[in-house]
């Protein structure tokens, strides 16, 4: 089982800020911004290239839900979403996840 599947199963502790049937949102263990969350679909797949209709619905759900969480996540002034895909992007966990960065003016 991958590290995010273990987090979803409750086998590895995390700071969970939101959960529903499709996804969890946790704090990144090594934050790269003042606010750094990971939005993780509960279904395990690594890459957007592995998308099918069902997975597209899950990603759509994540993207639609995140703006609703802005206030409680401290992201009212804006935020950045990042999805690393593969080696050149530095993807280290091969379970699709959306980085959510904000809480300050981000570089670049």
Write out the residues near ligand 5GP by the rule CB under 6 A: 3, 12, 14, 26-30, 38, 84, 90-93
Asked if 95 is an active-site residue, the reply is no
| Shortest distance (Å) from residue 52 CB to ligand 5GP | 21
Note the residues at the interface with Zn ion (CB under 5 A). Answer: 2, 4-5, 44, 95
Nearest-5° Cα angle at 35, 34 to 41? 150
**CA end-to-end span of the chain, whole Å?**
35
| Closest to ligand 5GP by CB, 29 or 56 | 29
Task: State whether residue 66 is helix, strand or coil.
Answer: helix
How many Å apart are CA 83 and CA 7, to the nearest integer? 19
Catalytic residues: 97
């Amino acid at each position: 089982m991958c590290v995010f599947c273990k987090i979803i199963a409750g086998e590895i502790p995390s700071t969970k800020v939101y959960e529903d049937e499709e996804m969890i949102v946790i704090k990144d263990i090594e934050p790269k911004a003042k606010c750094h969350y990971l939005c993780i679909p509960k279904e395990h797949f690594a890459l957007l290239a592995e998308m099918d209709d069902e997975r597209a619905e899950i990603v759509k759900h994540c993207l639609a839900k995140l703006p609703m969480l802005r206030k409680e996540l401290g992201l009212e002034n804006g935020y950045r979403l990042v999805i690393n895909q593969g080696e050149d992007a530095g993807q280290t966990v091969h379970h699709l996840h959306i980085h959510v960065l904000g809480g300050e003016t981000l570089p670049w």
